[in-house]
Structure 1
Amino acid sequence: MALAQAPLERGRYLVDTVMTCHNCHTPMGPNGPQFDRALSGGLRFDEAPFDVTASNITPDRETGIGNWSDAEIKTALQEGTRPAGHHLAPIMPSGFYGILTPGDLDGIVAYLRSLPAVSNAVPGPVYKQPVAYQVFPGAEKSMSESDFGNKLKRGFYLVTIAHCMECHTPFGPPGTGMDFKNSLGKGGREFPGPWGVSTARNITSSKSAGIGDWSDVEIKRAITQGVRKDSSKLKPPMGYRYYAKMTDEDVEAMIAYLRTLPAKE
């Protein structure tokens, strides 16, 4: 991990690659993400518990976060609450971002502040049933940068802030949220969008249902190129176009951690 980077460059790396913020917060057109309106919001998630649209996180003062303080942005990232105190929609992976180091938080804020302001008002959330605001196990507090020298710990950090398990873990009973205890990485969630409907894959160590019989090269190709073991193409919202810009060291750490996931059939 490029910890020697300046805060703004570190923030750019995290926002534009590992955290895949563009995957939700950049409008999606018929030909892909509309980067001329980067991070101005617009991707809709109409699922069983809720119907939500990703927010504008550019510095626009009317429709974005231009009026938010640094502390308010950090609170939204890690606690999932807006400056007025109400919750962000649960599709926002705040429960994964508690693990972010203080230095990484500073970098993210610096980079978001540097973006062009884009005026784009998006609709508020609609809740169809009770929702659970969850904290991902292990992301309850910031990780120490001293842990990044351990490949598995670094891999866990990266997989967590990439919120891989947000898509790859199915929901439990209504109102309970994602079933991290029993179905971590099992896959099965469906994601409708301009691409049709995609289903999150089982990414556990299961050799029959997961990626246990995939080589490191095959897993890396799926992460960074969106190509499965059988050479078929992955669909969004898998963020391979962003993961392609990750360092080899970071991707290898992610793979090492994924290898440790208990098999789920």
Structure 2
Amino acid sequence: MLSASALAWARSLAWRALLPLCLAGPAAAADIDRGRYLVEALTACDNCHTPRGPDGYRLDKRFSGGSQTFNGETYSVRGPNISSDAATGIGSWSDERLAAAIIAGVGPEGRLAPAMPSEYYRILTARDLEAVIAFLRTAAPVEAARPAQRRDGEQKAEIFPGAEAPFEESALDDPLRRGFYVATLARCMECHSGETNGALDHKEKLGAGGKLFRTPAGTAVGANITQHPTAGVGAWSDAEIKAAIVAGVGRDGKPLKPTMANLSKAHFSKMTPRDLDALILWLRTIPPRPGP
């Protein structure tokens, strides 16, 4: 059960009134396919919730918990088991409880750590939220010990500007709005915006890059993807930007560093041409900024 404080907080959110009434009903094949696309091509849930081996994701243990530990001032967590296992995963969770975790960052024990990027998923349309849940329900149950989770004090996550509430389905007919939707679910600006005093600054440094990523392969820096002609991608062709997104290849033809290289190969390469075109259309609207 949700704690009283967490439940009260969750009930205060407007999204609850928008949860589709058919969440508890059987999912159509089309819904499951849509959910698979959202999870595999855009939100990249495996990146945090599936263990890795030498050749990539351990799909025999899919969604049983991630390998990476995420650390912040108030938390140290690993992606938990979101397979359909009833004892150690989400098999016993209601659709409403799972929706609360996805788009509000509320779990059975209260507010989740900011490593769970619910502030980017709040934008999900009612249909797409339903589809994601339907697909997760198809995941094979995998029993796995719960990883150690440390959360100290209040867990805060800033809402990404423009993603404060669910999109209406009709908004996706507008290519520019669709591009923003895709960029938000793929969390492009979580990696590519600059920081001020250690926090992402989407107001002054949207897309300006500079965020550090420490991986087993070394340290990488989030690239500038604004329309700056030299520091950013303003002079890049659409084809060059597409290659970076779906193939993990830079303008010079060389492979990009992790984590972009990993995400491109495992996830963004599955993006539909329509979504990819819309994403680039929206990226072209980011004002030029120097940096990092």
Q: TM-score, normalising length from structure 2?
A: 0.82
TM-superposed deviation, 1:170: 3.5
CA offsets, 1:70-101, max 9 Å, x none?
001111111101033x1112011100111100
Contact 2:101 2:107 in 1 (8 A): yes
Map 1:215-226 onto structure 2 (within 5 A): 215-226=237-248
User: Residues 130, 74 of structure 1: CA spacing in aligned structure 2 closer, same or farther, 3 A cutoff?
Assistant: closer
1:172 maps to which of 196, 209, 217: 196
Segments of 5+ residues of structure 1 without an aligned counterpart are none
Displacement of 1:248 after TM fit? 0.7
Gapped regions of structure 2 (runs ≥ 5): 1-27
Match of 1:264 in 2: 289
Aligned equivalents of 2:194, 2:149: Cα separation in 1: 21
1:101-151 C-alpha deviation (Å, 9 max, x unpaired): 000011000000000011223434446898631111111111111111211
Task: Tell me the distance in 2 between the aligned counterparts of 1:121 and 1:262.
Answer: 46
Is the CA contact (8 Å cut-off) linking 2:245 and 2:268 kept in structure 1? Answer: yes
For residue 196 of structure 1, report the CA deviation from its aligned partner. 2.6
Corresponding position of 1:181:
203
SS in 1 for 2:204: helix
Closer, same or farther: CA 45–209 of 1 in aligned 2, 3 Å? farther
* Aligned residues of 1:204 and 1:259 also touching (Cα < 8 A): yes
**8 A Cα contact 1:41 1:56, kept in partner:** yes
| Aligned equivalent of 2:14 | none
CA contact (8 A) 2:47 2:66 kept: no
1:146 paired residue number: 170
Q: Which residue of 1 aligns with 2:44?
A: 20
- Highest Rg: 1 or 2? 2
2:273 equivalent in structure 1: 248
Is 1:7 aligned to 2:40, yes or no? no
Which residue does 1:191 correspond to in 2?
213
Q: 2:92 aligns with which of 48, 56, 67?
A: 67
Cα distance, 1:229 vs structure 2: 0.6
1:202 lines up with 2:227 in the alignment:
no
The answer to whether the aligner puts 1:91 opposite 2:115 as a matched pair is yes
193-202 vs 61-70, which moves further: 193-202
Percent identity (aligned): 43
Alpha-carbon RMSD:
2.1
Which amino acid in 2 is paired with 1:80?
G
Residues 185 and 204 in structure 1, CA contact (< 8 A), matched pair in contact too: yes
How many residues are paired up? 259
Q: Which amino acid letter does the alignment assign opposite residue 231 of structure 1? A: G
User: Kindly tell me: are residues 41 and 235 of structure 1, through their superposed partners in 2, closer, same or farther at Cα, counting changes over 3 Å?
Assistant: farther
Tell whether the 8 Å contact from 1:27 to 1:40 is kept in structure 2 after alignment.
yes
TM-score (norm 1): 0.90
Cα distance in 2 for partners of 1:16, 1:216 equals: 23
